Structure 1
Amino acid sequence: MSDFVGRNRLWARLNAAVAAQPDHLPTPIAVVDLAAFDANAADLARRAAGKPIRVASKSLRVPALISRALATPGFEGVLSYTLREALVLHDLGITDDLVVAYPCVDRGALTDLVASPAAAGAVTLMVDDVAHLDVIDSVRSSKAVQIRVAIDIDAGLKFGNQHVGPKRSPLYDTSAVVALARAVVARDGFRLVGVMTYEGQVAGVPDDVPTQRAKSLVVRRLKQASMTQLDVRRRAIAEALGPIADLEFWNAGGSGSVEATAADDAVTEIAAGSGLLVPGLFDHYQSFSPRPASYFGLRVSRKPSPTLATVHGGGLIASGPAGADRLPLPWAPPGLHLLGLEGAGEVQTPLTGHPAAMLAIGDLVWFRHAKSGELFEHVNDVHLVFGEEIVETVPSYRGLGHVF
């Protein structure tokens, strides 16, 4: 089935699912195609080749979807993006295996953690500096509750003075990692249980963009060089940490690097989240075929001309460096495009392309967000679709009253 036919069928299917609802759904109408979601989850597990996948909750932000992923064989635990979020997921009973991917300096959340032996036993905090330990110690009067911590290590590619990759941890050399590890195990009330090396320059960068052949070739070479260098570095760090602590996990990778990361013997688990929903930025990877699973619908509210259709809202712009790739994609019906001078607006978004002429006021247009998870910061309800039916409506974090 061609992409054109598939997207037209998607348009008809999602429209039918919405039309069958007894109440008029407010826009933006956020939907997740469960068949695609489940297929993506199974494919991620296959690509991980037996290593467990930790769900990156930042890429979902819907408790029901996190639980659905965890119910898939091959998925274990959650990689959360804030401590407060981890505490909520623990309270909801989603999982008792939570790793916070970023260092926490939220003293209120840390106070709640150290006051709860159950939460402290389920949550692992990320550190890359002794100062992070100091912040934790500043909120507790007793060391009776032991705090689980993991060390975040820079996984970027270095050649000469150049560094390619996310600017995260200051820890790169083995000696610096060992020094912090020794500081953790020497400090009362802390337990070193894991390590994280996120190679974002491999996992999060498209490498097979049809309109950027030369750039894609360079990206693929940089990815290969990065994984080769990382394999050596991780092995050396693992050997150095062995006598210091008995680690429970070594987390690494992402949806775009599952196979390559899983092949590294030092790594015990893979982080993945975007590969479950496959947003616009994940369309062009050599390592997997995209199955988009997440959409938002907007209604045509005006027709400025016979060849234009304007939908109400639409300005759901993704985080990261400002550029056209951060804009939402008009997806169904196929053939619609944003206007270069207006883009996606907060209150209205004009669309051009051959389908615009046939769209009438009140019709739905379906978009894909550029990044996974961020769509659900804009809606309270997420409608889970199977075939032509909304089978369940579930709350997002926002719908539960949470903003992390």
Structure 2
Amino acid sequence: MKEIQDLISISRFYGKDSRFVIAGGGNTSYKNEEKIWVKASGSSLETITEDGFAILDRSLLNPMSGKQYSENAAEREEQVKNDLAAATVTKGKRPSVETSMHNVINYAFVVHLHPTIVNGLMCAVNVTTVLENLFGEKVLYVEYTDPGYVLFKKVDEKIKEYRQKFSEEPQVIWLQNHGIFVAADSIEEIKSIYGSIFATLEKAVSIPLPEDERKVCRCVSEVLPAIRMLVSKDNLKTLKVRRNGLIEYFCESPKNQVAIAKPFTPDAIVYCKSNYLFLNDETPGQVLENAEELIPGFVNKFGYLPKVLLIKGIGLVSVGDNARQCDTILDVFEDAMKVAFLSQSFGGAHPMTQAQIEFIDNWEVENYRRSVAAGNASGRVENKTIVVTGAAQGFG
């Protein structure tokens, strides 16, 4: 089926590029009158095959938009999940939580991404003003809404308003502190729309991202093994460190760290949690002395170990159960740094509110329990301290 091959092609096209997709984020779909093919949870856009899509019966999916669900968030999401499962033809494949949004967009192909350049604007203070200035009055912008069914209902409502106002179907949907949906009846048109959006935003960026690599301080061999001991009271942890011009911009300035002190998107919370530890001491000895107090204090306050450490003079450090998890944490948090830096061109950083963060934190507890029950995949290198500069070095 040509359309499914096109869907696979465009999924891989964006999935392989870290400017658009990080840590398995984003999803894609194709639909006809009867069925919708949407990325199944756990599938990677970069390597997806036909088997990576869940197929749903649209005659069972369509009534969900008008159905009354529980006011209780946990109960509601469970009910929605069950209805999605009932509509799923490919039993055993769990469709993306955003399937209903894909279904109400009246184009055959939908590609939802979290591009860094887009979120530089979506996570900025002046997002609405800049959007209209750059893309005109026909923008469909959705203020931040908790993910899941509530977000779907908000998007559905906004689409209906757009149709009423402009007598046409929206092809681009901008989501504050989240990402973007682009839709069309061909993958060529989707690429064209995305290309135009990226070019427009890149021209609007007044302060380009620093992209140069920086050497990691020799003191890392003194500091990181000691930090590793502090975070390995219960289980031996893996640590990785990364340093470049962007990381240095935040690492060396407590003032700049204010912009990255809170997460910008739900994905950031899923992979990095919502609180981070910044160690701004001048010497390795001071770093370790304060870490001995601050790390247990962090655990006592938040109930979990920090996944992200920013250490002055060293760089960005991830704390994980294995090397693969550490890589993901580094990638996701460095992307947040890019978003914060780019937001300077659009009025400054606009992170999630505490209420929005708490909703995801509570939702993630349930996800975490499920992941623990299912077992965790391990990386190739476990329980090591690893330095990452331009190329990776390992020592343990």
Q: Which has the higher contact order (CA 8 A, sep 6+)?
A: 1
Query: TM-score, normalised on structure 2?
Result: 0.27
Query: TM-score, normalised on structure 1?
Result: 0.27
> Higher strand share goes to which structure?
1
